[in-house]
Structure 1
Amino acid sequence: MTSPAQWAGTPSVKGSSEAVKMALLTTSLIGLQFTWGVEMTYCTPYLLELGLTKSKISLVWIAGPLSGLIMQPIVGVIADRSKSRYGRRRPFMVGGTALVSLFLLLLGWTREVVEVFVTEKEAVREATIALAVLSIYGIDFAINAVQASCRGLIVDTLPIPKQQLGSSWASRMVAVGHLIGYGAGAIDLAKVFGPTLGNTQFKQLTAVSALALCITVGVTSWAVNERVLVSNGKEEQEELGGMQVLQTIFKTATNLPRGIAAICLVQFWAWIGWFPFLFYSTTWVGEIYLRYDAPAEAKEAGDLTGQVGRIGSLSLIAFSTITFVMSVILPWFVKSPEDERPGFTPRPPASIASFVIEVEKFKPSLLTTWTISHCIFAASMILAPFVHSLRGATILVSICGISWAISCWAPFTFLGIEINRLSAPGGQHYTPVHRASIELDSPIQLHLNHDFGESNTSSTGEGSGVYLGIMNLYTTLPQFVGTAISWVVFSLLEPGKSPELAKEAHPDEHNSTDGPNAIAVCLFIGALSAAVAALSTRRLKRVSNY
């Protein structure tokens, strides 16, 4: 029989109120999402400008799912067993951030770096493309280590009753990161910074992104104190080798508890839909503008990459604004999964008890809300091939902000609760404490009590890294499917260079814009997958108590 894990200290977050504590705990996600936003907004038009075809770019974006497939589970397993005196997650957050910043700057200045070593024109072009692709891979691999650690830190730090609150705060910070990132992309940064951070919009964005990530991860790392693992309580060898890490991941992935398996299935179908949206929607909006709405002088003005990025960013500003508003408002109107478990009775103050209890009857469950979010996304993206105006494209992208807010919140709430239920005494059983008020306690004690005799809401979150990593497998595997779909669609519909953007890199070539937009077709296929995700979400209700 193995002994339980032994820990030193208790997790805590600096701050005088619940809101401040939650904000500091999730601040790192602002910089993280800013960086993802810059990559997803500008890298596709940047690579198109360098001369890559859309079908080849779809293969470049294998970097995202490949890095997630490899890095997040491995980092999760290793971090779960880490005995660093700085905690299990923060060393990976800080180290990964340094690497991401380095590769961001390399991506922004690829041509300048290449020209130091190569002078022949065609060789410079080919080497610039190769170094840009290498930089994207470096960013994706490093940022996945940061993301795995940031999410794991939230699950580790919060007790079960606060998992939904933590996930909703994380969703808000993701929206803020998107909003700031797309806002920066929509501004002509050259007019703001001059040549200080580079002579192009793309260079300046990569520099700002690197700085933002360093600051936000630094704030969370400073504010959060982790427990330190003293002994993992297992009789087997303390140090994990490469094969042991893979065996741990495989064993866990093939023996998932029913609830976690159902959550992962939903993520699989949902992310087949989200992949083309997140990576190509900015380019799609910009291409719609150039194809249908742009005046002739705009097409002749040059820097089409910058134009596409700025126009696309404006639509994603609306998307991120709606995401942020929804992530703030919806938690007040949606039942927490904890509230739906047997034995829970809300106890509001007597003065408003009748009103609150009446309102509670009409609140949808988080599960129902998640299902509706898939339907909203599907209904929006199924219209993408029929849009012929910048306004129409912007409206569809904006509406998806509702679905994204819930998608950044719901799966992590359910997974956090499942993980902590499994690590609590009795494994599968959890009964929430009857709270004195349905209002949030303020300030809360952001620490876990490991004397299980005193509280049945305590948890260790011991397996949070590996379970979060496995859910990420179900987020990244569909991206391979999405990449394959994109490659086929782009190869069939736009086998040459982007008809809207090719003129800048290849002014002598003629490229027709009369055919269907290939990205719109990919978005349509993603909508069909989102409809399957909605059906899969209903299955989660049958296998869990939500």
Structure 2
Amino acid sequence: MENLQSKKQASAMELESHRQSPPMPSPVKNIIFVASIAAGVQFGWALQLSLLTPYVQLLGVPHTWSSFIWLCGPISGMLVQPVVGYYSDRCTSRFGRRRPFIAAGAGLVAVAVVLIGYAADFGHLFGDSYTKSPKTGAVAIFVIGFWILDCANNTLQGPCRAFLADLCAGNQSKTRMANSLFSFFMAVGNVLGYGAGSYTKLYRIFPFTRTHACDLYCANLKSCFFLSILLLLFLTISALCLVREQPVNTVEVKESNGKGSRLPFFGEIFGAVKELKRPMWILLAVTCINWIAWFPYLLYDTDWMGKEVYGGKVHQKIYDRGVRAGALGLVLNSVVLGVMSLSVEFLSRKLGGAKRLWGVVNFILAIGLMLMVLVSKLADSSRRFPPGGGNEPLPPSAGIKSGALAIFALLGIPLAITFSIPFALASIYSNTAGSGQGLSLGVLNIAICVPQMFVSVVSGPWDALFGGGNLPAFVAGAFFAVVSGVLALTMLPSPTPNDQSAKMPTVASFH
């Protein structure tokens, strides 16, 4: 009996000692190592955006049906990130809270890449014909690999951001800097991914990728994903080996798990979400409205270049030229995104706080979307056709094309803030409330995924209501950008300096 009481007293003393001695922020080099994982993750996302939709159509899936495959992103984001975040907050592994989930995510990405890259080869083994379409077996393997890839990426991203928040130990300045670095490395991954996807002879580095079942396009896709997984594994292994994470205090985890009723699996998560404080709920609402503004651009940017700026139709050469010009615009967007990501902390101080910076750049987003409408009208009024007649128009003037590319670059400014400030605020608010970083960041991801599904479903009928094209969605996006800017400036609570020392929900010390 006395032995049991002494153990309880020792555990209580351990917990009280930890509460009185919060962890110190980690060195900047450790934050950089962890943030760099975003480059490997985003490399894969960029390849998905640029290569996988054409590839699945080559396997025989109609364009109309191929869009349904992309529902995997928001669905997995809504389910995987909150679940992984919740359990990473409570993980008592001797390797730490976040590192086991990051390692598992990287391993799943490797499995998914093999399934996607070798879908045609596996499909042939299962009976697919070289010449007939659709290649049913290949499509089945591809879809399985695609869903695993999206789930794996979501398993990686949430714990990475939570790990960064842990390393910052509640320091507001370092939290903003860490999320800015994460945004910067996302831009690096974008540039690498779009660059690799646009180079058509990359398969020569891996000559074994070309087979009877896998043509040049397929071999190039394999090679791109091989480079992607090599980069991701290198960055992940480096970060996990160089940035150590001590096991959390199991006493406090048990105390946290013991509060309230014990509900099975998702019941625990829903119960934890209900405990989120008012600042976090306001942040979720503003984020949701903000991403309703963003998704018309993110979903239709290159299509806008092909249709509205170049005046082409799908399958026309002029439309393809416009799409390629849009890909160049995305590279410019990523470069500006990277540069701006390194300026977030400076701009935040100059404008008097993170929420003010986020509010201001939402008005820049609204201006950019309205400029897309203006450039579209100018391109249409100056449309030229070949002298001998023809169905396809000539490319737009240099001024029109330059104006369109300038908009891509301009929107890199608010995108850098969107990729960093909301996540930094979520970490700061969760510190103040004593809630888990993983869960808070996972729930924030739901506020991003719901608008994506909403815009995907509504934008088509909305555009058709006004005669088709992408412009009605851009106008609606500009409206929601203004609304989110106003709400960010007026409704979001300003974190106080005292929040820096707010108690972390569980204990971790880093070397």
Shorter-normalised TM range? 0.7 to 0.9
Distance (whole Å) between structure 2 residues aligned to residue 399 and residue 39 of structure 1: 24
Corresponding position: 1:371 with 2:359: yes
Deviation at 1:31, TM superposition (A): 0.6
Alpha-carbon shift at residue 292 of structure 1 (Å): 4.8
Residue of structure 2 aligned with 1:214, choices 222, 233, 248: 233
Aligned to 1:263: 283
User: Shift of the alpha carbon at 1:83?
Assistant: 1.2
In 2, Cα distance between equivalents of 1:543 and 1:13: 22
Alignment match, 1:472? 445
Quick one: which of 284, 289, 292 aligns to 1:272?
Answer: 292
Matched, 1:56 2:65: yes
CA distance in 1, matches of 2:101, 2:203: 36
Aligned to 1:340: none
Give the corresponding residue for 2:242.
Answer: 223
Secondary structure of the 1:228 match is coil
After TM superposition, list the pairs within 5 Å mapping 1:236-255 onto structure 2.
243-255=263-275
Q: Does residue 69 of structure 1 match 2:78?
A: yes
CA distance in 1, matches of 2:198, 2:105: 27
Aligned partner of residue 207 in structure 2, secondary structure: coil
2:370 aligned partner: 382
Secondary structure, aligned partner of 1:84: coil
The residue correspondences of 1:329-408 to structure 2 (distance < 5 A) are 329-335=343-349, 363-384=351-372, 387=376, 388=379, 389=396, 390-408=401-419
Bigger CA drift: 131-140 or 406-415?
131-140
Residue 535 of structure 1 is matched in structure 2 by: 486
Aligned-partner residue type, residue 469 of structure 1:
G
Worse-matched range after superposition: 101-110 or 33-42: 101-110
**Helix, strand or coil for the counterpart of 1:40?**
helix
Alignment CA distance shift 1:19-1:89 (3 Å)? closer
- The one of 144, 148, 151 equivalent to 1:141 is 151
2:421 to 403, 410, 415: 410
1:160 aligns with 2:170: yes
Identity level (%)? 26
How many angstroms apart in 2 are the aligned matches of 1:184 and 1:397? 20
Aligned to 1:170: 182
Q: Is the 8 A contact 2:368 2:407 kept in 1?
A: yes
2:248 aligned counterpart, secondary structure: strand
What does the per-residue CA deviation read over 1:462-490, in whole Å, with 9 as the maximum and x for residues that have no partner?
A: 61111111111212122221221245468
Does the CA-based 8 Å contact 2:126-2:137 persist in structure 1?
Answer: no
CA contact (8 A) 2:280 2:429 kept: yes
C-alpha deviation, 1:178, in angstroms: 1.5
1:173-196: per-residue Cα shift (whole Å, max 9, x none)? Answer: 122222222222233343863635
Q: CA 1:478–1:225 in structure 2 vs 1: closer, same or farther (change >3 Å)?
A: same
Cα distance in 2 for partners of 1:44, 1:463 equals 37
Q: Distance in 1 between matches of 2:163 and 2:409?
A: 30
Give how far 1:383 is off.
Answer: 4.1
Moved more, 183-192 or 112-121: 183-192
Higher helix share: 2
1:323 aligns with 2:298: no
Q: Deviations over 1:89-132 (max 9, x none)?
A: 11111111111122123223322221221234556434444433
* Structure 1 spans left out of the alignment, 5+ residues: 336-361, 424-461, 494-514
C-alpha distance 131-376 of structure 1, shift in aligned 2 (>3 A): farther
Displacement of 1:52 = 4.7
Q: What is the CA-CA distance between 1:398 and the residue it aligns to?
A: 1.9
| Aligned partners of 1:44 and 1:283 also within 8 Å | no
* One-letter code aligned to 1:320: S
SS of 1:244's equivalent?
Answer: coil
Check the 8 A contact 1:13/1:21 in 2, yes or no: no
Distance 1:10 1:463 in 2: 15
Paired letter, 2:196: A
TM-score normalised over the length of structure 2: 0.77
Q: Distance in 2 between matches of 1:185 and 1:394?
A: 19
How many residues of Structure 1 are paired with residues of Structure 2 in the alignment?
Answer: 451
User: Which stretch shifts more, 258-267 or 372-381?
Assistant: 372-381
